């Protein structure tokens, strides 16, 4: 099982939270934050809470993501799904983007196959989606 500092580092990395900026908001040294992220030193409960709040202030959704990592499951949605999807896309790495685009292509193709043919149907689009 991953340690808390590893999950915290993962959330910071996924949401592109800069350590120096977060340390400044929380009022700790960048070195102290780095030592925590690397598992060399622990922080107080108050500092940890401030780190989570500061991370979420810099990159909304990052605290929720950390909590999901900690719980080992997706937690209930706190915002509408389109905003959540946008945040996930913005935070995605190259591999996750490729998987998402393939899923979108499959869904689009399935939707197009289930629609009745009309005058506005674009057969070129259907053949362009080779998923």
| Residue 123 pLDDT > 70 | no
Cβ contacts of 61 within 8 Å, gap of 6 or more: 15, 79, 84, 87, 91
- Residue with the larger pLDDT of the pair 98 and 5: 5
Q: Give the model's pLDDT for residue 129.
A: 53
The pLDDT tens digits of the residues spanning 32-90 come to: 999 999 999 999 999 999 999 999 999 999 999 998 888 886 655 545 556 667 777 77
Q: Give the model's pLDDT for residue 26.
A: 95
List the single range of 44-58, 88-102, 105-119 with lowest mean pLDDT: 105-119
């Amino acid at each position: 099982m991953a340690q808390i500092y590893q999950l915290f580092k993962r959330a910071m990395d996924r949401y592109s939270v800069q350590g120096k900026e977060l340390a400044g908001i929380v009022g700790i040294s960048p070195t102290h934050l780095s030592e925590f992220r690397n598992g060399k030193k622990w922080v107080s409960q108050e500092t940890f809470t401030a780190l989570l709040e500061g991370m979420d202030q810099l990159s909304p959704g990052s605290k929720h993501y950390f909590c999901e990592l900690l719980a080992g499951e997706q937690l209930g949605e706190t915002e509408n799904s389109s905003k959540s999807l946008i945040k996930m896309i913005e935070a995605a790495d190259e591999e996750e983007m490729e998987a998402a685009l393939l899923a979108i292509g499959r869904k689009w193709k399935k939707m197009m196959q289930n629609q009745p043919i009309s005058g506005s149907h674009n057969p070129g689009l259907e053949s362009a989606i080779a998923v």
